Each structure stands twice: as C-alpha cells, then as structure tokens.
Amino acid sequence: AQTVTQSQPEMSVQEAETVTLSCTYDTSESDYYLFWYKQPPSRQMILVIRQEAYKQQNATENRFSVNFQKAAKSFSLKISDSQLGDAAMYFCAYSRPQGAQKLVFGQGTRLTINP
Amino acid sequence: DAGVIQSPRHEVTEMGQEVTLRCKPISGHDYLFWYRQTMMRGLELLIYFNNNVPIDDSGMPEDRFSAKMPNASFSTLKIQPSEPRDSAVYFCASSNYGTSAPTDTQYFGPGTRLTVL
C-alpha cells in the first residue's frame, strides 16, 4: 500500500522569507500524481500544486514550487515570499492515475507565518 | 462554477440518532469521494463513486455507515446509529477523468463538522 510521510509537524517562517515543507512517499507504481493541499482555519481543502510523476520538470504555481525527486521518492514544497495568508495546515497527497484516484494523505505540517 | 457543495456545514446530534450528510459535486465530474478527518487518524477515504457506482468502500468503518449516489449531482453519507467516535469533519470531493485538463485532481467541498454527543 502507498504511504505518505510528512516529518515536520510544525514549521514557522518570517513573513517574506522562504520555507520548504518536506514530504516522502512510498509506492511501487511508476506512474502517479502528487499534490499539496492547503487547509486554512476555515478547514477548506485547497489545491496548491500538483505534479505528474512522468514529468521531470518541477511544477510551479506563482510563489509555490516543488522539488520532485522520483528516485528518492521525495516531494517538497517551497513557498517563496511567505505571506500571512499562507498560514495553514499543508498536506502532501498521492494518487494513482487513470481511475484509481483515491488520495493518500500525509499527516500534515502546520505552517505559521511570523509578521 | 459553485464548486463542491456540502450540507449541513455543522451538525450536532445525540448518540443513537441518524445523521445524513449531503454533497453536490462539480457539474461534469464523474468521480465523487467521501473523506473523514480526525485528529487521531488524519484524512482517510471512506468511499468513492465513479459514474454514480460505488467503486471502493473499503474505508467505510462499519455497517452503521452507508453512502449512496442516486444521480450525477447528488450523494449522501448516512450514519445510523451515530456514536460519539463518529465526531469528525466529513469532506466530499469530486474529480474528472477525461481529456480536458486538469484531470485527476480532486476538488473538495467545505466539509461538514459532525459532533455526536
């Protein structure tokens, strides 16, 4: 079975600085998707970024980028120019493609932004 | 698009009562998922549907839980009878597997916070 591990229960960063959240996963599949979701205090799950395993290029979305290391089964999220609105729980998630799409989530990392 | 809609947003009930949670997926999405979030177990999949048909219900904790999807725009998750350990946030999510990008990305509703006293 696939597993996702986030080893940092909590992280903090100064506003405008850069922070990296770690995620590792375990799978025997060669094709899959990886996601980062953000859950602010409103508890809404918001998609931040996604990465297809077959793509070598790391995904980027504005201030958010990932470092995808397939061989190491590592998928970290980098947040540049941190803003107060980035404060939230961040969940790393894995899914298989093509119909077997259930998400397997990590335990989450609580990110605090210090003004 | 209004996104995934869930109702109610909050539900407080007493042990032994029946609870029904509702979900309207994003129009055109052919997959619907029910997740539960607790402090102890994190986010876990309960059941998912494809084209209104249940595909995997291995995450449903016990027979007290049931889910239906009578049509492409509506699903329910029912707990009967409810117990205090069912207290959690229940999320519905939907996705689309097809030729239009992005596919295979799940979009979540706002969740229902259930408290069973």
pLDDT of residue B101: 47
Of residues A97, A102, A104, nearest to B33 (C-beta): A102
Q: Which residue of A103, A105, A107, A109 is the best one to mutate when testing the B interface, meaning the one whose CB has the most B CBs within 10 A?
A: A103
pLDDT-based confidence at residue B19 (cuts at 50, 70, 90): very high
Of A43, A101, A105, the CB nearest to B95: A101
Q: Which residue of B has its CA nearest to A96?
A: B104
Q: Dihedral, CA atoms, B62, B57, A95, A73, nearest 10 degrees?
A: 50
Partners of residue B107 in chain A, C-beta under 8 Å: 47
CA–CA gap between residue B94 and residue B29 (Å, rounded): 6
Range B45-56 average pLDDT: 93
Query: For the residues B74-103, what does the mean pLDDT come to?
Result: 86
- Chain B residue with minimum CA distance to A3: B44
Percentage with pLDDT > 70 across chain A: 97
> pLDDT band for position B14 (50/70/90)?
very high
Instruction: Retrieve residue B27's tokens.
Output: 């129009």
H helix count then E strand count, chain A: 0, 12
Dig out the tokens for B102 from the structure.
């992005």
- Secondary structure (3-state) at B4: coil
Going by DSSP bridges, is the β-strand pair B10-13/B112-116 parallel, antiparallel, or unpaired? parallel
| pLDDT interval class at B103 (50, 70, 90) | low
Between CA B69 and CA A100 the distance in angstroms is 18
Of all residues in chain B, the percent with pLDDT exceeding 90 is 77
- Whole-number mean pLDDT of chain A? 93
With a cut of 60, say whether residue B46 has pLDDT above it. Answer: yes
Radius of gyration of chain A (CA): 14
